[in-house]
Amino acid sequence: MSPDPMHDQMSITRRHFFGRSAAGLGGLALAAMLPRPALAGPDPAALARMLGPHFAPRAKRIIYLFQSGGPSQVDLFDYKPRLNKEHGQQLPDSVRHGQRLTGMSANQSSIPLAGSPFKFRQWGGSGAWVSELLPRTASIADELCIVRSMWTEAINHDPAITFFQTGSQIAGRPSMGAWLSYGLGSDNDNLPAFVVLVSAGQGGQPLYARLWGSGFLDSRYQGVQFRSGKEPVLYLSSPDGVCGSGRRAMLDKLADLNRLQFERELDPEIESRIAQYELAYRMQTSVPDVTDLAAEPDEVFELYGDDARKPGTYAANCLLARRLAERGVRFIQLYHQGWDQHGNLAGAIRGQCQETDQASAALVTDLKRRGLLDDTLVVWGGEFGRTSYCQGKLSPDEFGRDHHPRCFTMWMAGGGVKPGLTYGHTDDYGYNLADESGAPINPTKDHDTPGAVHVHDLQATMLHLLGIDHERLNYLYQGRRFRLTDVHGHVKRELLA
């Protein structure tokens, strides 16, 4: 039986153990441990087969524009004139079929349909339906692959966002960026492979660092959050009174000290510690360079919008994402909170769109003109959608929508997805996924449901675009092989260019 490539970390240790008795610690060169530590195991070929890429990738990196809170698809992308016609009438039981609602609207005596107050029209040569709330996004409709038939199992924020990021509703698994960093390594030794940018001051549903954690994977794969302001990465710069050469000399001795500790303990996390100190040292130069937007010309700020001049805004983060992509960062995860419109939807969603529409579209446009869109996959979407019925009281100028996991819309651009495609259907009530005729379909994650895209299907497709077979990239932990897609997920080939 061939050695199990999944025992990579322990086999480093095993090799080290035998190496110590023969040639001593010198055999373990620091440089060899840095880029692809898993390949240091006894069977590099087996490991390479398991890690990526498994086939030619279409994209080298992902920029994920996470719209946290659950944007209302029926007010943005999924045009449902029937809701306007039957505005105020009850959602028919024949449509709902007794499906669960959240605790927030399950006890409402009435669940009246709420038509969107926003005007829709078709855009571009592809004729994609987009509402007036997203004029800039609409103007690049022909670049977009709009998926109207997303569905998830989670109905509340935290399990839903955790599901999208880690493939499990329960916290603790590695985030998608960590999986990609583990599977594909880094294209830039001076920056983390997985960078996280959160719009400042948004409020809304909370985000936690575990969403970009590495779970049971080696800790060097976790996302690094860049903040706005003077210190993008906390505790990165040297304190006053420590010069570059002094810090370098100190780090050399620290690495030596840690190697001695590794010799005692044989814990692979000590090697990660050494690697991360070295990366942090290089980031003392690379981070100020990438986060300084001063050299960007005025026309770039015009493209992304004036907000891009204000550090920490979504627009500034979109521009920063482009700069990170240019430098080969593998996975750039943005978050913009505030899409959770249980009430006051009409006013609040307008504000959300003003904060995000121009910059999201600008990012795609900017990547394209720089030739980066071909190998950069941009993904836009939230953790679930919103109900077509009204939460709370439906009044002429006030309404809200509850969480809706059964159908919602996301879009992707670049990176090997089909541009100008609107994929999937929902029924006339915007409640269930449907086939082309509008008849409801009942998707399952157990097999590939044509027209429906489960969260695991999206994950499998995103990995596929980066040259990874989602069934092969796995990690043995506590006696079980784990994958981002658990035991599910189907690559949706209809979405591929």
Partner 1 sequence: MLAQHALPASNSDQARIADMFRRLAGRSPNDREAALLLDLLAEQRALYAQQPDEAAKLLGVGEAPPDDSRDKPELAALTIVAQTIMNSDAAVWQR
Minimum Å gap between C-beta 171 and partner 1 is 18
User: Is 242 an interacting residue with respect to partner 1 (CB under 8 A)?
Assistant: yes
Query: What string marks each residue from 269 to 288 as x (binds partner 1 by CB under 8 A) or -?
Result: xx--x---x-----------
Pairing status of strand 376-381 against strand 408-414: antiparallel
Near partner 1 by CB under 8 A: residue from 257, 439, 487, 497: 257
User: In terms of CB distance, is 78 or 218 closer to partner 1?
Assistant: 218
Minimum Å gap between C-beta 269 and partner 1 is 6
Minimum Å gap between C-beta 267 and partner 1 is 8
How many other β-carbons are positioned within 10 Å of the β-carbon of residue 210?
Answer: 16
Quick one: angle between helices 268-291 and 8-22, nearest 10?
Answer: 110
Minimum Å gap between C-beta 279 and partner 1 is 14
Phi/psi for 163 (5° steps) reads: -65, -45
Query: What string marks each residue from 454 to 483 as x (binds partner 1 by CB under 8 A) or -?
Result: ------------------------------
- Tell me the window of 83-91, 188-196, 200-208, 260-268 that interacts with partner 1 (CB under 8 A): 260-268
User: In terms of CB distance, is 180 or 224 closer to partner 1?
Assistant: 224
Minimum Å gap between C-beta 248 and partner 1 is 10
- Tell me the window of 41-49, 249-257, 326-334, 362-370 that interacts with partner 1 (CB under 8 A): 249-257
Minimum Å gap between C-beta 239 and partner 1 is 5
Q: Number of residues in contact with partner 1, rule: CB under 8 A?
A: 23
Dist. CA 234–CA 226, nearest whole Å: 8
Dist. CA 369–CA 366, nearest whole Å: 5
Asked whether the beta carbons of 287 and 236 are under 8 A apart, the reply is yes
How many other β-carbons are positioned within 10 Å of the β-carbon of residue 208?
Answer: 11
For the chain, the distance separating the N- and C-terminal CA atoms, rounded to the nearest angstrom, is 40
**Hey, is 386 helix, strand or coil?**
strand
Q: Among candidates 319, 364, 317, 331, which has minimal Cα distance to 61?
A: 331
CB-based contacts of 102: which residues, under 8 Å, 6+ apart?
A: 155, 156, 402, 403
Token output for 428:
């006339």
Asked whether the beta carbons of 146 and 128 are under 8 A apart, the reply is yes
Near partner 1 by CB under 8 A: residue from 229, 239, 396, 479: 239
User: Is 209 an interacting residue with respect to partner 1 (CB under 8 A)?
Assistant: no
Near partner 1 by CB under 8 A: residue from 258, 266, 328, 451: 258
Q: Among candidates 223, 157, 229, 173, which has minimal Cα distance to 194?
A: 223
Quick one: angle between helices 314-326 and 268-291, nearest 10?
Answer: 110
User: Is 429 an interacting residue with respect to partner 1 (CB under 8 A)?
Assistant: no
User: In terms of CB distance, is 277 or 398 closer to partner 1?
Assistant: 277
User: Is 32 an interacting residue with respect to partner 1 (CB under 8 A)?
Assistant: no
Dist. CA 287–CA 234, nearest whole Å: 11
Minimum Å gap between C-beta 16 and partner 1 is 15
Near partner 1 by CB under 8 A: residue from 261, 398, 420, 494: 261
Cα dihedral 229, 176, 356, 135 sign = positive
CB-based contacts of 241: which residues, under 8 Å, 6+ apart?
A: none
User: In terms of CB distance, is 266 or 346 closer to partner 1?
Assistant: 266
In sequence order, what are the beta bridge partners of 398? Answer: 395
Near partner 1 by CB under 8 A: residue from 245, 395, 437, 442: 245
Minimum Å gap between C-beta 260 and partner 1 is 6
Minimum Å gap between C-beta 191 and partner 1 is 21
Separation of CA 360 from chain center:
14
User: Is 250 an interacting residue with respect to partner 1 (CB under 8 A)?
Assistant: yes
User: Is 230 an interacting residue with respect to partner 1 (CB under 8 A)?
Assistant: no
Under the rule (CB under 8 A), what is the footprint of partner 1? 239-243, 245-246, 249-250, 253-254, 256-258, 260-262, 265, 267, 269-270, 273, 277
